[in-house]
Amino acid sequence: MTDPRIIQLIMELRHQGITDTRVLAAIERVPRDRFVQAQFLEHAYDNIALPITQGQTISQPYVVAFMSEALQVNDRMKVLEIGTGSGYQTAVLAKLCRRVYTIERYRSLLLQAERRLAELNISNVTAKLGDGNKGWHEQMPFDRILVTAAADTRPDALLDQLNPMGGILVAPVGRDPDKQEIVRYTKNGLGIAEEKLLPVRFVPLLPGIAKEVG
């Protein structure tokens, strides 16, 4: 029997305008309570962002659903995720595509996420510790790229790793946390189309391997 909190969350996401049935099904099938800190378990299915370790967050379910829907991903695609974090968005993407390649700059977060994904028998994810700004050159081109931290400006190094015909990158963009927007970049034969979709507030996309906190 489905947890009534999950049913309530799906109803709320529908009310907020999420219409992609595959995305809604993925949100329903990924147990968010497995990705939050123990002290926040009672809020696991609330439609809010929650703190995780290393000063990072697990995104609000609406934002996860919105970005996943904006990515327009199908089950034949290879997806790059920048910023594994808790692994929750990774798990949702894994339900939607052929394979997810995900990069995290905090080793402890990466190891925790890999453990959670393994416990949930999600096997179509390849993860590594690295600098997300540089992408994953050895595995390019990607059909889709999702960035879960805010880039200061258009992430051209990542756009270079997109499939040139119809590749899509979705990322929060903006140096000022109060002026960030989710932007969708679509590659086509004429260049790169850019659409601003939603005001948001994300942690910044930082370079290099991170020094662990605590």
Judged by DSSP in three states, 25 sits in helix
Residues 6+ apart with CB under 8 A from 141: 161, 162, 163, 164, 167
Strands (DSSP E) contained in the chain are 50-51, 57-58, 78-82, 99-104, 125-129, 144-147, 168-173, 180-188, 191-200
59 among known catalytic residues: yes
Integer Cα distance of 193 and 168 in angstroms: 9
| Residue keyed to tokens 């540089």 | 134
Give the single-character DSSP code of 200.
E
Tell me how crowded residue 18 is: count the other CB atoms within 10 A of its CB. Answer: 20
CA distances from 60 to 1, 47, 55, 99, 198 (A): 24, 6, 16, 23, 14
Instruction: Tell me which of 59, 68, 108, 123 is the catalytic residue.
Output: 59
Q: Which residues are catalytic?
A: 59
